[in-house]
Amino acid sequence: MSALPRDDQAECAVLEAVMNTPGALETVRPFLAVDAFDNPDRRKLYDAAVALMDSGAEADASAIVARLRDRGEPWENLRLTLRGITDGAHSAYWEQNARRLSELHQVREIARTGQALWAKATSNVGDPATFVADAKVQLVGVLDHRQANDDAGSLRDSMREQLENMQAAARVGHGGLLGPTTGIDKLDRLLCGLRGTKLIVVAARPGHGKTALGAGIVISACDVEDRSVGAFIASAEMGRGELVLRMAASEALVDARRALQGALVSEDWAR
């Protein structure tokens, strides 16, 4: 059976940058797992660097080696591994190499999961429905691993983002909006405008105006004079035509139900 894919040159390039390029470890740490290094000796080096960074210490080459020596790692092993990294071709594209290592790690995890499922399916599959359900859970877990890594960030990154938000709010001033308007003043004051990464759930009984409210917010946010803002609408209940009708009714301030029933009067048509 062929070996699972790995990239020794990429591993060396990333470690060389981690040990010698300021900011490299902080850049790759959020998405590059320790297990992404298939070579066990290089994996130990990266693990030591991550441990140092998480403890707030400098993670340069000497500190990494010292930490591994403290763990009882033989110097000869370290020397040979470091020589291999030093002798490898230096690459300015260490971040791209780090992302490649992350992708290869996912490939290996998918392959190993598939091998385990194959072994079970060809030996004692048991209840087919249970096997399929378990297989889905395992595969989804592996496929979601990259998204989890991409979403994971350090506390420092989160704090920096929040500070930038507070600075933006200070520049706008009291009562200013940090995102597109909802079109409703009281709602804007509560939300400070529509901001990215924020999920807003509108709940009410049927027929109480949820769709009309959403349509009004979309129209207000997507100002025709500002082409930088767009919206995507998905509905499990209404077709495109009915949604457009409701948005038009909301903008014209007419009753959408009367429009659907063909009961609009001349004053409504004028709007």
Question: For residue range 21-66, what is the model confidence (pLDDT) as tens digits?
Answer: 889 999 999 999 999 999 999 999 999 999 999 888 888 888 998 9
Round the average pLDDT of the chain to a whole number and report it: 80
User: What confidence tier does 157 reach under pLDDT thresholds 50, 70, 90?
Assistant: low
pTM over the 0.75 mark: no
For residue 237, what pLDDT is reported? 72
Single-letter amino acid code for the residue at 87: D
**Out of 9-18, 52-61, 192-201, which region has the weakest mean confidence (pLDDT)?**
192-201
The residue with greater pLDDT, 228 or 92, is: 92
Q: Would you state the structure tokens that stand for residue 33, as one six-digit string?
A: 């797992």
For residue 240, what pLDDT is reported? 78
Q: 29, 49 in Cβ contact below 8 A?
A: no
Single-letter amino acid code for the residue at 86: T
The pLDDT > 90 percentage for the chain reads 23
**Out of 48-57, 156-165, 196-205, which region has the weakest mean confidence (pLDDT)?**
156-165
Residue 169 has pLDDT above 70, yes or no: no
Q: 18, 25 in Cβ contact below 8 A?
A: yes
- Tokens 């529509």 belong to which residue? 194
User: What confidence tier does 100 reach under pLDDT thresholds 50, 70, 90?
Assistant: very high
Single-letter amino acid code for the residue at 140: V
How many CB atoms neighbour CB 256 within 10 A? 19
Residue whose C-alpha is closest to residue 220's, from 181, 246, 256, 267: 181
For residue 28, what pLDDT is reported? 93
Mean pLDDT of 140-160: 60
Q: Which residues contact 127 (CB under 8 A, 6 or more apart)?
A: none
DSSP, residue by residue, 82-125 = HHHHHHSPP-S-HHHHHHHHHHHHHHHHHHHHHHHHHHHHTT--
